[in-house]
């Protein structure tokens, strides 16, 4: 028996029907996919087969082939909560490292990373380990993923012939 196939995704934060057929809970890394079998809360296995690698958003929906929708929910995962007196300055340093970051009014959330944590400690930020859903800011050009330059397409940055290392 083959798994039902998910072939499209709505680009909005709420399902069309009042109650989606099921839901799938995925951490940040697992929400970046093209072809993969997922297990829903009900235990049903679904084959996601999208035309392009896609970053699924918390609260988005997957449209089932033949009808019905599956809600995408961000799973709790190990994160670092970052606070500081000058939070925009800290956010700049995190962004300069191409680190995915959830930006809130009074705090930042990033995935746990001992190197970034050491940098934040050095900058005077307060860093605390938490377990929460992670919904980082999307890319400036609508790509949804901001880490490195591995989003699967070519683009011109306008700053020719430099490497992307940030070692100083």
Q: Which of 77, 90, 100 is nearest to 127 (CA)?
A: 90
Q: DSSP character for 137?
A: P
For position 23, what pLDDT does the model report?
92
| Predicted local distance difference test score (pLDDT) of residue 53 | 86
Residue 8's pLDDT band (boundaries 50, 70, 90)? low
Mean pLDDT for the stretch of residues 63-92: 92
The pLDDT value given to residue 166 = 44
Helix, strand, or coil here: 114?
Answer: helix
Q: Which helix (H) or strand (E) holds 90?
A: helix 87-96
Residues contacting residue 69 through CB under 8 Å, at least 6 positions apart: 10, 15, 16, 17, 20, 21, 61, 62, 63
**What value, to the nearest 5°, has the Cα angle with vertex 146 and ends 61 and 114?**
110
pLDDT tens digits along 90-107? 999 999 999 999 999 999
Placement of tokens 């019905």 in the chain: 68
Report CA Rg, the chain.
18
Residue 37's Cβ-count burial label (10 Å; 0-12, 13-18, 19+) is exposed
For residue 4, the model assigns a pLDDT of: 66
What value does the mean pLDDT of the chain take? 79
Q: What global pTM score does this model have?
A: 0.74
Residues 38, 17: Cα–Cα separation, whole Å: 21
């Amino acid at each position: 028996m083959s798994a039902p196939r998910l072939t499209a995704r709505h680009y909005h934060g709420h399902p069309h029907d009042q109650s989606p057929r099921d839901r799938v809970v995925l951490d940040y890394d697992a929400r970046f996919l093209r072809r993969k079998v997922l297990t829903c809360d009900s235990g049903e296995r679904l084959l996601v087969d999208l035309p392009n690698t896609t970053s699924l958003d918390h609260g988005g929906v997957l449209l089932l082939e033949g009808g019905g929708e599956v809600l995408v929910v961000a799973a709790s995962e190990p994160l670092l909560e970052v606070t500081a007196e000058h939070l925009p300055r800290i956010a700049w340093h995190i962004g300069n490292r191409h680190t995915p970051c959830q930006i809130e009014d009074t705090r930042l959330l990033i995935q746990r990373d001992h190197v970034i944590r050491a940098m934040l400690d050095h900058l005077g930020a307060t860093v605390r380990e938490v377990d929460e859903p992670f919904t980082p800011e999307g890319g400036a050009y609508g790509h949804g993923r901001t880490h490195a330059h591995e989003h699967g397409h070519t683009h011109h940055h306008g700053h020719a012939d430099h490497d992307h290392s940030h070692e100083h």
